[in-house]
Amino acid sequence: MSAVILMTGVGSYLPKNKFSNEDLSQFIDTSDEWITKRSGIKSRHFVSKNELTSDLATNAALKAVQMSGLNIKDIDLIIVATTTPDNTFPSTATRVQQKLGAKGIAFDVQAVCAGFVFALSVASSMMKDNHSKNCIVIGADSMSKLLNWEDRTTSVLFGDGAGAVVLQKKENLDKKFNGWGILSNVIHSDGNFYDLLYTNAGVSLNQKVGFIEMVGKEVFKHAVEKLCSSFQEALDLCNKDISDIDWLIPHQANQRILSAVSDKLKIKNERVISTVEFHGNTSAASIPLALEVAISSKKVENGNIIGLQAIGGGLSWGSSIIKFGKPKIM
């Protein structure tokens, strides 16, 4: 009998520095009305001067492990999805591993805003191949480090934060886990759209970090189409229908994309988790951050079927279907 990969813990962390649209308007040519109309964003959090991506990730991971009921010593795999690592090398995941006091395998995945879904897919495959029994998947980004404050079209959209989930592998010997855990993962990339969303610098390009550059209208068009098509793929893979989904948790890019996706999928807005108003676009952190909010607000509950979907630079995109939590017999 095949193994089942359960999602049993979720945690998140936001930096203490919170910036409203009004705060940004003090040093950017913008306004609350302009930002809200175009994105639905009202506020976002930024890291402090000495706060690292690994700090965000570690805090989120600790909360996820606590919720799962495991101990740090049980964790044997850590995957961090990030575009803003502490150092060019080694991986931020190894720094998180050291801060947690964990053992085993640790590495990063870089698929920008789609990073969490990519990392989830990689973790699930590795666990099924017997590389891990208990894994932490983390999405963590300090996107404020990549913002050009003279470009109001991008600088007002992003925020910093981290979210983490704990995955546990269970052998389904007596079928008690049937229908639980990660039911399907779908991931795609197409480098033909490389220049739609990128940074204008890099290590091998010019030894710099660079700023975010984005062709907004084209990204919006691809986002809606690719989020919906990959989600239908994920549904088909696990023989589910859109009516089976209790909650849809998309990448929190902006409210217009979330609304367009829910309309195209014909899923009611009240079944779509949206936190973009309070977090902005936190890149790889956005989905687990939104999931944690949905759990703490008593929306997502044990046994709910949730759909995750994300798109980021590359372009890279994907979706996952998960029956969250674990049977009460555990």
Contacts within 8 Å (CB) and 24+ apart, 190-199 = 190/314, 190/315, 191/314, 193/218, 193/222, 193/314, 193/315, 194/313, 194/314, 194/315, 196/222, 196/313, 196/315, 197/112, 197/312, 197/313, 197/314, 197/315, 198/313, 199/146
Q: Which of 45, 135, 222, 251 is catalytic?
A: 251
> Taking each helix axis from N to C terminus, what angle separates 92-100 and 53-68, rounded to the nearest 10 degrees?
50
Neighbours of 87 (CB within 10 A): 12
Q: What does the alpha-carbon distance between residue 324 and residue 270 come to, in Å, rounded to a whole number? A: 19
* 125's tokens: 């495959």
Q: Which residue among the candidates 113, 134, 185, 279 is catalytic per the annotation?
A: 113
CB 300 within 8 A of CB 306: yes
**Beta strand 316-323 pairing with 134-142:** unpaired
- CA 107 vs. chain centroid, Å, equals 16
- Is residue 222 annotated as part of the catalytic site, yes or no? no
Q: Does the annotation mark 251 as catalytic?
A: yes
User: How far apart (Å, rounded) are the C-alpha atoms in residues 142 and 44?
Assistant: 12
Q: Do 167 and 65 meet the contact criterion of CB atoms below 8 Å apart? A: no
Torsion of CA 31, 33, 34, 40, to 10 degrees: 120
Among the listed residues 59, 185, 254, 281, the single catalytic one is 281
Active site residue 131: no
Catalytic residues: 113, 251, 281
